[in-house]
Structure 1
Amino acid sequence: MADQVVLFEEPGARWRSLAWGPAVCVLALIIELSTGPLVHWFALALFALLLAGFTYVQISAARRHVSVELTRESLRQGTETLDVGDIDVVLPAATYSDGDYEPKKWETARVLGELTGVPRRRHAIGLRLIGGGLVQAWAKDEEALRSALAEVVAEKR
């Protein structure tokens, strides 16, 4: 898959988030150095390390379980990969107007990525598979993924 062109990608989390906790501790250190005689060297260093450690775990999990990658051959959603050739139709977005709140069939289908539901701050995209089954793909920018998927599926026909 390394030589395939990536058409759509969402990493799940960015490594730059790792710097926020230690940056706040450095800011607290600067404030303590400039305002008073007591500087909490050990506590600030410990908290910087703890914050970086907890953030590292969260970023690693998000990059593994909530990342999305689409190539011409496959759609990877977290830990699950779906062959694009298995997708029959990219279903239109669900619209609710005129008091119609009945969920579409694909909105209750299995979620890709070995997850129990669509991850937070992501939006579902309905897919009908070749065998007639329904699944939900998801992304933060669902419109971009939907259009890229529709283009790739149309090429495969």
Structure 2
Amino acid sequence: MDQPTLYAEPGASWWPLLWGPVFALLGLGVEALTGPTRPLLWLVVALLLLLPTMLWVQGRRRVYEVRLTPVALHQGREELPIRDVAAVEDVEPRAGAKVLGGGWTLPRGTEAVPIALSDGTVVTGWARDADALRAGMAKLLAARGGSADA
């Protein structure tokens, strides 16, 4: 059963897919100013640049996606069940705390969201808008009757 999404951040936008075609159009334009044009060549260049960019964007969307549902926090490919979360407000970040999502450090451009788990450990979640993610998780904790404070 699909759960409603309470908070979401895509890992990347699709606009970088325009890089290859724009570069090819610029190349075709410069070539048109300087002599005979080879549109088929520039079409191949656009496709050759488009394909790896598509893979790069798709990979970033999977690895850096943040999604909060009523049952779990998804950070990249890792899932943290909300039932395992004890608190998200007033949690002190700990040095060496596990970073959710499988990375060693926070993804660039994100802020840390320390999360206290039911077993007493603290893990580090992340989001571009850490306050919005923290607020969404605190609402879920309050709704289940648990404490949203540490």
Tell me, yes or no, whether TM beats 0.5. yes
Contact persistence 1:7–1:148 (CA under 8 A): yes
Q: How does 1:141-152 map to 2 (within 5 A)?
A: 141-152=129-140
Give me the CA root mean square deviation. Answer: 1.9
Please give the alpha-carbon distance, in whole angstroms, between the structure 2 residues aligned to 1:61 and 1:127.
26
- After superposition, the C-alpha distances for 1:59-109 in whole angstroms (9 at most, x for unaligned) are 12111111010011111001111111111000448xxxxxxxxxx543531
Alpha-carbon contact 1:73-1:85 (below 8 Å) kept:
yes
CA distance in 2, matches of 1:90, 1:148: 10
Structure 2 CA distance, aligned partners of 1:56 and 1:74? 28
The residue number in structure 2 matching 1:140 is 128
- Report the alpha carbon displacement of residue 42 of structure 1 after superposing the two structures with TM: 4.9
Instruction: Give yes or no for the alignment of 1:53 onto 2:41.
Output: no
Q: CA deviation at 1:144?
A: 1.1
Match of 2:61 in 1: 63
With normalisation by structure 2, the TM-score equals 0.85
Distance across 1 between alignment mates of 2:138 and 2:94: 16
Distance change (3 Å), C-alpha of 1:123 and 1:105: closer
Deviation at residue 131 of structure 1 after TM alignment: 0.8
| Structure 1 unmatched ranges of 5 or more | 94-103
The structure 1 segments of at least 4 consecutive aligned residues displaced by more than 4 Å after TM superposition are none
What fraction of aligned residue pairs are identical, expressed as a percent? Answer: 34
Task: Report the Cα distance in structure 2 between the residues aligned to 1:27 and 1:112, rounded to whole angstroms.
Answer: 41
Gaps of 5+ in 2: 146-150
Question: How far has the Cα of 1:30 moved from its partner?
Answer: 3.0
The residue that corresponds to 1:13 in the other structure is 12
- Residue aligning to 1:130: 118
Aligned to 1:99: none
* Shift of residue 50, structure 1, vs aligned partner: 2.3
CA distance in 2, matches of 1:46, 1:62: 25
- Alpha-carbon deviations, 1:106-155, whole Å to 9, x = none? 35310111221111111110000011011001011112111111111211
